[in-house]
């Protein structure tokens, strides 16, 4: 069985409106974030993966299984959609248990899995209350529990952090990390770029239905050659360091920031600059507290590639 | 973390469990729900009327009754044909079966079913059987209750009519016709709910077609559900003037052909619905 979720030249049109176009992707296990503004094709991509939509052209395979075989696919895939709707009249427990029964498991197995899923998202105490009486955050968590209850290898989550309070957000992110570290696929779309940045093993940047970039975020950043790379150095004499670096050809711009101990450097040759920094710091006897890249996060890459402000995509 | 779900029991057992799960879920969601109140009223209305009739006749004393047992038999046949077949069961099935898929789409909950490892054909079968169970319980139950009540005021004579006369056989036919009507109309309206964004439009078209059926040429009458159902009714209902002159007489289809034909129609429509569901997408009109 393949370990990848693959899209081969996949396009999807809604009449004459473009959903996604000529998407080629190979998503490995781990946490993958889909990032893009509204209408960029994130949900279309997820719906195609889960078999809720069919591609206009191209081939999709989830661990080698085409999405038009739900009886095989949905044993391996769990999908938490963005729809905030639930079957009427069910409690949280009945919701999980009833849909687990549709998997064809025994009643005892369904009870065990429903209880485990409720425990996992911290909803055990509210299980016997009607879903209609839940808060938005609770509804989000019960949807998560439903997507995870059958222990899928591929977990697809459309805006899973929406409506969660900070504590629940942290717990949910920890849960994603745990699943990702077990060699499963966790494919997440989110508006909140810094959270995506902190949890993702790889990102897929989408804009207007096209995949703009994909891969590990640092790799993607290095591919954006027209934008100089930013490096933040915190040391005792930043102006001295700036003067010495400007004598070399590597630095495009240097700015002293914050409390006067931060020096933000922009360079077209990051590797060269790191080597130079080592030498200059030793020669000048500078006391350096930290050296770190300042723009290899999703937010910056997103701004460079898509051109809008991150954070509230 | 529990074990992966990929460990699956035998396929036939899984299918049975899945079918059972759909039935349980559908009945849990829809039985005695507030949304279906008008369907319950529709089914119980003739029971209420026959109950009232019985109570009034009891007060009047059966020997002073204005009508005979035969009159009640014809009154029931008319109620069955004009109320149950042309009204109650038809609209009840519109309400029950149209909503099996269309209701889920309007409420944006169909994706929960589509994200389970269940063949879509099995989902169609499960939802249809859940709807059929509800419709048959309501309408066949209502027909049986009305039948027992309509001549109750004749006392022993009516008991004789049922147990030693043609009553039981008539009741059997009425119940069979009502069940076949639920099965046939149910399949048609389930398909309409899957296929059309506004299934009321095809429902109205079917209603008009079924309504004008007696006035159509013989060969066109046969392209309908009501023609076959009417042929199986045990007591013929006289058509009142002036409509009787417009009715085109057609030889009734033999019962076994009508039954097999209706079952075949049901299966064909269900097969088409299964294909539609398998190829269906979830977009909720967005």
- Asked if A53's CB is within 8 angstroms of B282's CB, the reply is yes
At residue B146, the pLDDT reads: 95
Among A54, A72, A101, select the one facing B281 at the smallest CB separation: A54
Is the Cβ of A105 closer than 8 Å to some Cβ of chain B? yes
Predicted pLDDT at B13: 85
Q: What region does A209 belong to: left with phi over 0, alpha with psi -120 to 50, or beta?
A: left
Q: What is the pLDDT of residue A312?
A: 38
Q: Which of residues 219-258 of A touch B (CB under 8 A)?
A: none
**How far does the CA of residue B87 sit from the closest CA of chain A (Å)?**
28
Give the whole-angstrom CA distance, residue B82 versus residue B71.
16
Residues of B in contact with A102 (CB under 8 A): 18, 21-22, 25, 113, 116, 118
Q: Measured between alpha carbons, how far is residue B154 from residues A108, B66, B157, B237 in Å?
A: 55, 12, 6, 22
Do A151 and B15 lie within an 8 Å CB cutoff?
Answer: no
Q: Which of A54, A75, A81 sits opposite B5 (nearest CB)?
A: A75
B28 to A94: CB separation less than 8 angstroms, yes or no: yes
pLDDT at B1: 43
Give the pLDDT band of residue B64 (cuts 50, 70, 90): low
Token pair of A40 as six digits: 């960029």
pLDDT of B2 strictly over 50: no
Q: Is the pLDDT of residue B285 over 80?
A: no
C-alpha distance from A104 to closest chain B C-alpha (Å): 5
Which residues from chain B sit within 8 angstroms of residue A51, using beta carbons? Answer: 114
CB pair distance less than 8 Å for A90 and B3 = no
Total beta-carbon pairs less than 8 A apart between chain A and chain B: 116
Task: Quote the CA–CA distance of B29 and B27 in Å, as a whole number.
Answer: 5
A242 in Cβ contact with A218 (< 8 Å) = no
User: What does pTM read for this prediction?
Assistant: 0.84
A99 touches chain B (CB under 8 A): yes
Write the CB contacts of A216 (distance below 8 Å, at least 6 apart in sequence). A201, A202, A203
List chain A residues with CB under 8 Å of B115: 50, 52, 70, 74, 77-79
Query: Hey, which residues 64-83 in chain A have their CB within 8 Å of chain B?
Result: 70-79, 81, 83
Tell which CATH architecture fits domain A5-221.
Answer: 3-Layer(aba) Sandwich (3.40)
Q: Which residues contact A8 (CB under 8 A, 6 or more apart)?
A: A24, A58, A59, A60
Please say if the pLDDT value at position B272 is more than 90: yes
Lowest mean pLDDT among A17-31, B112-126, B246-260: B246-260
Q: B283, A14: Cβ pair inside 8 Å?
A: yes
pLDDT at B61: 67
Average pLDDT over residues B107-135: 95
- In the DSSP assignment, the letter for residue A32 is E
What was the pLDDT predicted at A280? 85
Q: What is the dihedral of CA B122, B125, B131, B137, to 10 degrees?
A: -120
Q: Say which range, A181-195, B146-160, B204-218, has the weakest mean pLDDT.
A: A181-195
Q: Where are the domains of chain A?
A: 5-221, 228-294
**Interface contact B5-A105, CB threshold 8 A:** yes
SS3 for B172-187 is: HHHHHHHHHHHHHHHH
Query: Where would I find the H helices in B61-166?
Result: 69-78, 89-106, 110-114, 120-150, 156-163
ipTM: 0.82
Which of A22, A147, A236, A247 has the alpha carbon at shortest distance from B116? Answer: A147
Say how far apart CA A171 and CA A144 lie, in whole Å.
Answer: 12
Distance CA B224, CA B185 (A): 10
User: Does the domain spanning A228-294 belong to CATH 3.30.465.10?
Assistant: no
Contacts B118 to A, Cβ<8 Å: 70-71, 74, 102-104
Two tokens, residue B247: 């009715």
Buried b (16+ CB within 10 A) or exposed e, A9-18: ebbbeeeeeb
For the stretch B15-25, pLDDT in tens is 999 999 999 99
Q: Is the pLDDT of residue B116 over 50?
A: yes
Chain A partners within 8 Å of B17 (Cβ): 101, 104-106
Mutate to test the interface with A, among B21, B106, B122, B126 (most CBs of A within 10 A): B21
Q: Do B5 and A112 touch (CB under 8 A)?
A: no
Does the distance separating the beta carbons of A85 and B107 come in below 8 Å?
yes
Domain range summary for chain B, segments of one domain joined by +: 37-61+69-279
pLDDT score recorded for residue B30 = 77
- Would you write out chain A's pLDDT as a tens digit for each of its 313 residues? 788 999 999 999 988 888 999 999 999 999 999 988 888 899 999 999 999 999 999 999 999 999 999 999 999 999 999 999 999 889 999 999 999 999 999 999 999 999 999 999 999 999 999 999 999 999 999 999 999 999 999 999 998 988 888 888 888 889 999 999 999 999 999 766 667 777 888 989 888 899 988 888 777 766 666 677 888 888 888 888 888 888 776 778 888 888 888 888 888 777 788 888 888 888 888 888 888 777 777 677 777 776 654 443 3
In this predicted model, what pLDDT tens digit does every residue of B165-192 receive, in sequence order? 899 999 999 999 999 999 999 999 999 9
Instruction: Report the alpha-carbon distance of residue A53 to residue B279 in Å, rounded.
Output: 9
In chain A, what residues touch B9 (CB-CB under 8 Å)?
104, 106
A13 beta partners: A18
B5: distance to nearest CA of chain A, Å? 6
Contact B117 A72 (CB under 8 A): yes
Nearest by CB to residue A53, choosing from B115, B119, B283, is B283
């Amino acid at each position: 069985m393949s370990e990848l979720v693959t899209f081969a030249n996949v396009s999807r049109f809604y009449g004459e409106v473009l959903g996604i176009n000529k998407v080629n992707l190979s998503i490995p296990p781990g946490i993958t974030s889909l990032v893009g503004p509204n209408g960029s094709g994130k949900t279309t991509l997820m719906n195609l993966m889960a078999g809720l939509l069919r591609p206009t052209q191209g081939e999709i395979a989830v661990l080698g299984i085409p999405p038009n075989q739900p009886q095989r696919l949905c044993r391996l895939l769990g999908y938490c959609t963005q729809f905030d709707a639930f079957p009427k009249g069910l409690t949280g427990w009945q919701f999980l248990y009833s849909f687990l029964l549709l998997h064809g498991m025994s009643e005892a197995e369904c009870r065990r899995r429903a209880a485990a899923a409720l425990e996992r998202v911290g909803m055990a105490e509210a299980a016997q209350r009607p879903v209609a009486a839940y808060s938005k955050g609770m509804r989000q968590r019960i949807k998560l529990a439903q997507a995870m209850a059958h222990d899928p290898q591929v977990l697809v989550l459309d805006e899973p952090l929406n409506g969660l309070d900070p504590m629940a957000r942290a717990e949910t992110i920890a849960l994603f990390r745990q699943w990702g570290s077990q060699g499963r696929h966790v494919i997440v779309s989110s508006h909140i770029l810094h959270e995506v940045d902190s949890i993702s093993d790889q990102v897929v940047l989408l804009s207007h239905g096209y995949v703009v970039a994909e891969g590990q975020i640092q790799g993607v950043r290095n591919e954006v050659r027209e934008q100089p790379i930013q490096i933040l150095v915190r040391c005792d004499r930043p102006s001295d360091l700036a003067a010495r670096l400007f004598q070399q050809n590597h630095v495009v711009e240097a700015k002293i920031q914050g409390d006067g101990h931060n020096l933000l450097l922009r360079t077209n040759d990051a590797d060269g600059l790191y080597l130079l920094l080592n030498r200059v710091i030793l020669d000048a006897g500078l006391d350096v507290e930290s050296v770190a890249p300042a723009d290899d996060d999703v937010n910056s890459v997103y701004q460079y590639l898509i051109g809008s402000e991150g954070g509230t995509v | 973390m529990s074990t992966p779900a990929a460990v699956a029991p035998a396929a036939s057992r899984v299918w049975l469990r899945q079918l059972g799960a759909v039935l349980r879920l559908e009945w849990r969601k829809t039985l005695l729900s507030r949304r279906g109140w008008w369907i319950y009223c529709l089914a119980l209305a003739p029971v209420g009327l026959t109950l009232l009739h019985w109570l009034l006749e009891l007060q009047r004393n059966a020997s002073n009754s204005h009508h005979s047992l035969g009159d009640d038999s014809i009154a029931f046949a008319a109620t069955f044909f004009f109320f149950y077949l042309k009204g109650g069961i038809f609209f009840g099935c519109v309400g029950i079966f149209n909503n099996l898929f269309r209701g889920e789409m309007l409420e944006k909950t169909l994706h929960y079913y589509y994200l389970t490892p269940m063949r879509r054909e099995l989902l169609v079968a499960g939802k249809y059987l859940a709807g059929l169970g509800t419709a048959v319980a309501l309408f066949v139950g209502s027909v049986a209750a009305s039948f027992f009540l309509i001549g109750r005021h004749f006392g022993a004579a009516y008991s004789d009519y049922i147990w030693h006369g043609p009553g039981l056989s008539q009741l059997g036919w009425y119940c069979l016709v009502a069940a076949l009507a639920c099965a046939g109309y149910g399949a048609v309206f389930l398909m309409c709910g899957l296929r059309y964004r506004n299934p009321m439009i095809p429902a109205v078209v079917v209603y008009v077609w079924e309504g004008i059926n007696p006035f159509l040429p013989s060969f066109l009458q046969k392209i309908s559900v009501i023609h076959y159902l009417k042929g199986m009714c045990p007591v013929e209902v006289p058509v009142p003037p002036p409509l009787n002159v417009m009715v085109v007489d057609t030889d009734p289809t033999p019962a076994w052909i009508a039954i097999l034909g209706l079952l075949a129609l049901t299966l064909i429509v269900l097969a088409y619905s299964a294909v539609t569901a398998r190829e269906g997408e979830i977009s909720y009109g967005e």
